[in-house]
Structure 1
Amino acid sequence: MTEPNHQLAALQLAIMRVLWKRGEATVADVREDLHDERPLAYTTIATMLAKMERKGYVAHRIEGRAHIYRPAIDQEKVSRSMVTDLADRLFAGDVTQMVAHLLDGCDVDADELARLKALIRAREKEDRDAH
């Protein structure tokens, strides 16, 4: 079964990051956390959270008069879905080309290269063990 395709817009992703970090938050909490990066009106965030709830990205409970939102989708699944979509759209699904592009365009230090090599070795071992 294929996983759902979670393609979040920039504001949705920023809101989800707040919720993933906090676990749950009110509209005011989200607004406060986003204020430096995106000074938005309370109503803008409330409207976006309501839309995100309709899409199944967040859920809420009511405590007094406050709506307390929590993530309804997993951060790892969203990341995987968005990276897969990026690879498909920009690199026609060619992961090697995507990684080469990232390595050419970013400053990658020795520690990061060592971690990448370790990930590749682990993946190769998984593939060998699966066969």
Structure 2
Amino acid sequence: MEDDLNNVSLSDLQLAIMRALWQKPNSTTTEVVEAVRESRPLAHTTIATLLTRLEKRGLVEVKRDGRQLCYRALLSESQVKRSMVSDLVSSLFMGNPSALLSHLVKEQEIDETELEAIRTMLEKKRK
């Protein structure tokens, strides 16, 4: 199971649900629905089904609070990002992280402000 948690791939909708849980841990299904509806008008049952699937995958934990189910993410946002970026680098850039950065710079996906922030991070990393 630990290996599965290091290799997490989520759809946009699953990510939206996880983001709702990262912002407000121990959310009821209704609270998750309301958070996700800000960007996507989906049925309560759709979100409930996806929460159940995420729980079966071991990505969220569910607890009963009276008549309501409360969900909590078991992985942090940084763990999910690390896993998904690692998968992207592995599959699309043949394991070469600098190829990803090079692509972003060449395609002008990174503006000057972001480039400066990256330079600053690199300088801190070198020290």
Q: TM-score, normalised by structure 1?
A: 0.85
Unaligned runs of 5+ in 1: 126-131
Take 1:103 and 1:22, find their aligned partners in 2: how far apart are those partners? 34
Work out which of the residue numbers 25, 43, 46 in structure 2 matches 1:41.
43
Deviation at 1:38, TM superposition (A): 1.4
Q: Does 1:117 align with 2:119?
A: yes
Unaligned runs of 5+ in 2: none
Take 2:55 and 2:119, find their aligned partners in 1: how far apart are those partners? 39
Q: How does 1:50-129 map to 2 (within 5 A)?
A: 50-105=52-107, 106-110=109-113, 112-125=114-127
SS at match of 1:60: strand
Work out which of the residue numbers 25, 28, 43 in structure 2 matches 1:26.
28
Find the counterpart in structure 2 of residue 14 from structure 1.
16
Deviation at 1:24, TM superposition (A): 2.4
> Between Structure 1 and Structure 2, whose CA radius of gyration is higher?
1
RMSD value over aligned CA atoms?
A: 1.8
CA offset digits 1:71-103 (Å, max 9, x no partner)? 111211110110011111111111111101112
Deviation at 1:107, TM superposition (A): 4.3
Contact 2:63 2:70 in 1 (8 A): yes
Q: Identity over aligned residues, as a percent?
A: 37
Q: TM-score, normalised by structure 2?
A: 0.88
